[in-house]
Amino acid sequence: MTPPAGSGADPRVTGLTARVAGTAGVARVTPVRLADDGRTVALTAYPRTAPSDPTTAALVRTLRAADVPGVAVHVGGATATRVDLADRVGARMPWVIAVVVGLSTVLLYAAFRAPVVAVKAAVMNLVSIGAAYGVLTAVFAWGWGVGLTGLSGPVPVESYLPMMLFALLFGLSMDYEVFLLTAVQESWRVTGDNRVAVREGLAGTGRVITSAALIMVTVFAGFVLQGDPVIKMFGLGMAVAVAVDATVVRGLLVPATMALLGRANWWRPGRRSRVGERLAGPSS
């Protein structure tokens, strides 16, 4: 008697089962289940590694690439869904960064009419975000001090979290940047001296920026007390980014680069800008 198509006795199905069971990294395979249409079978493969292990993600891709004559192979499940989400987010992340940084640069140029200041401000915002990514990886993925967060061991960083953090943190960093640059530009217009403008702008906004950052760091650090690992990641990442942004970036890197760039900070393309620079007087 010829076995019905798609049944467990079909040589195509037995070949698929043998292929999956023989794949490196597969611990065991359940018996096939025949769908009502008689053309589709399903089986469950259990990996030897944890769902969050990169080896498991590689196993999903290996199984999807399996070539079994007469069979169309599809791999689903929670692990495969996370792999697909991570791949899609990873492919789109560079575009998100490029669009956000590009639009921010355009808006900053529209606000300050200084291309060097606009580009520098947009790039500087990436420093604090990079610091947050590094801390999240070290704590949650590598397990450095993960016990201090209330977790018993390392946990994977969700694939969507870096993109969401980037959008939130870039906006927060931009607030500090605009606040500081506005004060510096106002002083520059009065004094015409770049170093004096940077010094006065930093002195005039330092207390407010530090106070606001301290409030936000305290609030975000409170998220770490929650039981959900994802909430802990959000809280720690945002607290670290705000702390680094208000101290290292706004207190050191931004003033230092503006002091070194001098008159170039306020360069504007076109004849009108050159006339305006001559009228502004000398600067250091």
Please tell me the distance from the alpha carbon of residue 101 to that of residue 80, in angstroms, as a whole number: 32
- Give the pLDDT score at 272: 52
- Give the pLDDT score at 9: 64
Percent of the chain at pLDDT > 70 equals: 92
Question: Residue 26: beta bridge partners?
Answer: 47
Question: Residue 42: beta bridge partners?
Answer: 33
Q: Which residue has the higher pLDDT, 10 or 233?
A: 233
Record the pTM. Answer: 0.77
4-8, 52-56, 87-91: least confident range: 4-8
43-57, 125-139, 240-254: least confident range: 43-57
Question: Residue 239: beta bridge partners?
Answer: none
Is the pLDDT confidence value at 278 over 60?
no
Please tell me the distance from the alpha carbon of residue 193 to that of residue 281, in angstroms, as a whole number: 8
- Give the pLDDT score at 3: 43
- Give the pLDDT score at 15: 81
* Whether 224 contacts 236, CB under 8 Å: yes
Cβ-based neighbours of 167, under 8 Å, separated by 6 or more: 96, 100
Q: What is the pLDDT of residues 159-205, one digit of tens each?
A: 889 998 998 888 888 888 888 999 999 999 998 899 999 999 999 88
7-21, 47-61, 107-121, 208-222: least confident range: 7-21
Q: Which residue has the higher pLDDT, 121 or 284?
A: 121
Across 4-36, b (16+ Cβ under 10 Å) vs e yields eebeeebebbeebbebbeeeebbeebeebebee
Is the pLDDT confidence value at 61 over 60?
yes
- Give the pLDDT score at 71: 78
Question: If you average pLDDT over residues 242-265, what whole number do you get?
Answer: 90
Which own/partner pairs from 25-28 qualify as long-range (CB within 8 Å, at least 24 positions apart)? 25/49, 25/55, 25/56, 25/58, 25/59, 25/62, 26/59
- Give the pLDDT score at 73: 82
- Give the pLDDT score at 144: 92
Is the pLDDT confidence value at 277 over 80?
no
Please tell me the distance from the alpha carbon of residue 184 to that of residue 192, in angstroms, as a whole number: 11
48-57, 194-203, 273-282: least confident range: 273-282
Is the pLDDT confidence value at 146 over 70?
yes
Question: If you average pLDDT over residues 31-53, what whole number do you get?
Answer: 81
Please identify which residue in the block is written with the tokens 């493969």. Answer: 45
Q: Which residue has the higher pLDDT, 274 or 29?
A: 29
Question: If you average pLDDT over residues 33-48, what whole number do you get?
Answer: 82
Confidence of residue 138 (pLDDT cuts 50, 70, 90): very high
Please tell me the distance from the alpha carbon of residue 217 to that of residue 194, in angstroms, as a whole number: 31
